[in-house]
Amino acid sequence: MVGDHVLRVRLGEGTVSREEIPPEWRRRYVGGKALAARYLLADTEAGVDPLGPENLLAFAVGPLTGRAPGEPRFAVVTKSPLTDAFLDSYAGGDFAARLAGSLDDCLLVLVEGERDEPGVLVVEDGTARIEDAPELAGMDAAETDAQYPDAAVACVGPAGEHGVRFATVATDGGDHHAGRGGAGTVMGAKGLKAVVARGDAPETPPELDAADEEFADAEVGRWQAASETLESVDFADEVGALPTRGWQSGTFDGADGVGIEAVREASVGRERPGEAVPGGFRVPDGDGETVPRGAASITLGAGLGISDFDAVAELGGLCDRLGVDVISAGSAVAFAARASERGALDRDVDFGDPEGARRLIREVATRETDLGDALADGVVAAADRLGFDQMIPAVKAMELPTYDPRAAPAMALAYATSDRGACHRRARPIEEAAVAAESWSDADRVRAVVSEQNARSARWCLVADDFAGEAAPEQGARWLRAVGVDATAESLADLGERAWNLTRLFNVREGHDRNDDALPEAMTVPLPDGPAEGAAIDRERFDAMLEAYYDARGWDSEGVPTESTLERLELTEATQ
């Protein structure tokens, strides 16, 4: 069934209502990212406080959630408390599928207002109800999930309750997270401890019965089954783009200890055994099991100079339960370690010290010390508050993630132009660039970034597994037609471009401009070693690429979509 309604939850009033989606919005935006962005633009005022009751928090699914191959996914969309920009963050697992089934003919849950006491939102049979839940206060993600053994849960941990600006929305007991940008912070500020989905996953149309097997046989399916995202550690180290010891190097001597082979050795199984495309590797973390991703091994391993995978898994598991984004948490510890190396702290924080990292992550999640409280606002705010150099690179106040852009100019452009701040998921041209090597021109780099941003935005409207979305556009259109959405490869391309321009309109409204599409000064310092030794961002070259990017997008020199672009994409009404 194609959704045509939303649920609007007013926490302050304790009410839930159903609303029909305007037909033109359904046609133009489909679901997920674009549809939620359109409501965010319409239902909030310019300058809205991300942590105030007027900010909107949307839980979004799309026509392919729980039906397409790969892992079911859902989106959380809001204004970020970390970046003051548009935020869409995605998580997978059982909750995503069961949320789609619980919503029936609804595509979004729109949450407004706030509560004085912790509460939960129970979604079932196409409607929802708000329940008091003071007993959940202080529980971590695993403990909260355990309170609802007959349902699927998305929740905030202690970090969300304490207003850590990179708190996550954790699902399936912390196995999955809508991580970057602080969606969990907004949820915690609203007094919403959890969303509980009581429905079953939607039925898969007969036309899609063979889709999982098709995907499993495709190149991306075989890659996902073999290594998930953990191979990115080995790849980044090989090309000299592995952020190491707080971005001081592009290679890590201990990469083998935290890469894919180390994970396979530590693994006790897969998350979804027996499926055509199994889920991530399960590994012990000292307090149970965790499902590590590439970002954890890079940021908590190489980034902190820790080469023991068991220690990295324990740090990742701690972040999962506390409900903090692993990239921002690792960046916070790395920032403190670099400050400590300079003698700028009144305590020692060392690279290569898992126990010290563990203590500091807990302090951040609870804001229980002055250092933890400062770092809980992100490294950009912490540097300003403590009077230090920033040291850890960020774009729009979001810390850079998995690949050092000095080793790949296309990644520099991808990070700078990302709608939610530095993000390797909006576009990952480094992989294509590594194959093309020196044959790539800057025009090729611009083309790749624009193309990937559009394609990924389209799949986040559907909402499909990122990797399933890398199937051919014709195949994606066929999947959509199987669930009742009239689609072609061309219409999906238009959808992705429309979604990207829509989020740009939101960011422009919130005061973001060309000055925010920039890389920090640290990226102009040459890499000291490795395959990319001597590489650095050249400001003039980067500015020329950014200008070419704006031109390719149909934006003016300040990065604002032109009237002709808005007319072509049917977005003029979104500015009124």
ω into 525 cis (within 30 of 0): no
Residue 68 has what pLDDT? 77
Residue 184 has what pLDDT? 98
Contacts of 510 (CB under 8 A, 6+ apart): 46, 47, 79, 84, 85, 86
Q: Are residues 35 and 85 in the same domain?
A: yes
Contacts 24+ apart (CB under 8 A), 525-531: 526/406, 527/240, 527/249, 527/250, 527/404, 527/406, 527/407, 528/248, 528/249, 529/249, 529/250, 529/251, 530/240, 530/249, 530/250, 530/251, 531/238, 531/239, 531/240, 531/250, 531/251, 531/407
Last residue of a domain, one of 203, 227, 259: 203
For residue 371, the one-letter residue type is L
Q: Are residues 159 and 70 in the same domain?
A: yes
Residue 466 has what pLDDT? 67
Domain with 187 in it: what CATH number?
3.60.9.10
Q: Are residues 492 and 556 in the same domain?
A: yes
Domain with 426 in it: what CATH number?
1.10.599.10
Residue 156 has what pLDDT? 98
Q: Is residue 131 part of a domain?
A: yes
Q: Is residue 538 part of a domain?
A: yes
Q: Are residues 431 and 458 in the same domain?
A: yes
Give the total number of structural domains in the chain.
3
Residue 25 has what pLDDT? 96
Q: Is residue 379 part of a domain?
A: yes
The domain in which residue 105 lies consists of 5-203
Letter string b/e over residues 379-390, b meaning 16 or more CB atoms within 10 A of that residue's CB: bbbbbeebebeb
Q: Are residues 380 and 494 in the same domain?
A: no
Residue 470 has what pLDDT? 56
Q: Are residues 46 and 188 in the same domain?
A: yes
Show the low-confidence residues of the chain (pLDDT under 50).
none
Residue 436 has what pLDDT? 64
Last residue of a domain, one of 345, 367, 392: 392
Q: Is residue 397 part of a domain?
A: no
Q: Are residues 374 and 411 in the same domain?
A: no
Residue 342 has what pLDDT? 92
Q: Is residue 482 part of a domain?
A: no
Q: Is residue 214 part of a domain?
A: no
Q: Are residues 417 and 530 in the same domain?
A: yes
Domain with 233 in it: what CATH number?
1.10.569.10
Q: Are residues 92 and 38 in the same domain?
A: yes
Q: Are residues 317 and 454 in the same domain?
A: no
Residue 164 has what pLDDT? 98
